[in-house]
Amino acid sequence: MPELPDVVVYCEALASRVVGERLLGVRIRNPFVLRTADPPIATAEGQDVLDVRRQGKRIVLALANDLFVVIHLMIAGRLRWLDAGQSGPARITLALLDFASGTLAMTEAGTKRRASIHLVRGADALAALDANGLEIEDSSVEAFAARLRAENHTLKRALTDPHILSGVGNAYSDEILHRAHLSPIAHTRRLDDDAIARLHAAARDVLREWTERLRAETGESFPEKMTAFRPGMAVHGRFRKPCPVCGTPVQRIVYAENECNYCPRCQTNGVILADRALSRLLHKSFVREI
């Protein structure tokens, strides 16, 4: 899923191409992607783009006449910038937004259609789509602590809950927890002030560093290779590979459609966290320490 660094770079690349341009047409290739009917999507056609901004993990195109096109890419959705009038890959293209300067294609790999487009009118309707998670970059450590401690969750869950923190998902939560030397299953209300401060600093640093890195990689081009697995990551997607800090093989917990990657030496005092499927399979043979 594109997270804060990815979405920021998408927004910047889009802004440089479409702000001040007129949205000439919207071609919906898969009806499921459009989640609103009022106002009709045709209302957006012929409107000028005034701004492109991020709302959590969503991309918002602010149009004239108080209209907002809100794009949520979810897990497998991506954006492509095509020459004007092109249609993109037929099988995975969900929608096309046409401008004189080019066409924005929204695609989604796989068969599960989770990515979405909303067209809403007015600031209140736009705000209703916002999960209101805390923006980490602008937050104080006190506000960050208050959000985390409002309910008692594991750190992995708290970091990825859009109602708690804005823009963080599976990949960058792994990187943040590794940077902070904290276990993904530690509970928010059990963290002392030092751990909270360390986590806050790690979150700000990781998100800022990766935003700058993706920005530099993209340059003036449009970001085409948005992925949750990047060679420069410390632990995410690096199961069994050496931790860049201590050399210990990275471990994982698999759950649902995601996995949590961590270093047992740096984050869990040498303890290998129980993976439900693996520990059931191995039972008494499951090794719990490095």
Same domain, 100 and 144: no
Same domain, 116 and 190: no
Same domain, 206 and 89: no
Tell me, what's the pLDDT at 282?
A: 41
Residue 133 domain flag: no
Rounded Cα distance between 184 and 288, Å, is: 16
∠ CA 51-55-56, rounded to 5°: 150
Tell me, what's the pLDDT at 276?
A: 56
Which structural domain range is residue 205 located in?
140-285
* CB of 207 closer than 8 Å to CB of 137: yes
Same domain, 84 and 145: no
* CB of 158 closer than 8 Å to CB of 164: yes
Residue 135 domain flag: no
**Residues 162-197: tens digit of each pLDDT:** 999 999 999 999 999 999 999 999 999 999 999 999
* CB of 82 closer than 8 Å to CB of 102: yes
Count Cβ atoms below 10 Å from residue 140 Cβ, excluding itself: 10
Give the bridge partners for 59, in sequence order. 54, 71
Tell me, what's the pLDDT at 290?
A: 60
165 token code pair? 């923190």
Tell me, what's the pLDDT at 250?
A: 97
Of the residues 93, 128, 163, which one is the last residue of a structural domain? 128
* CB of 124 closer than 8 Å to CB of 130: no
Tell me, what's the pLDDT at 112?
A: 83
Same domain, 102 and 215: no
**Nearest one of 167, 168, 143, 137 to 155, comparing CA atoms:** 168
- Weakly modelled stretches of the chain, pLDDT under 70: 256, 275-290
Residue 134 domain flag: no
Tell me, what's the pLDDT at 31?
A: 94
| Chain center to CA of 163 | 14
Same domain, 31 and 122: yes
Same domain, 110 and 169: no
Of the residues 108, 128, 148, which one is the last residue of a structural domain? 128
Same domain, 145 and 123: no
Tell me, what's the pLDDT at 169?
A: 95
| CATH, residue 193 | 1.10.8.50
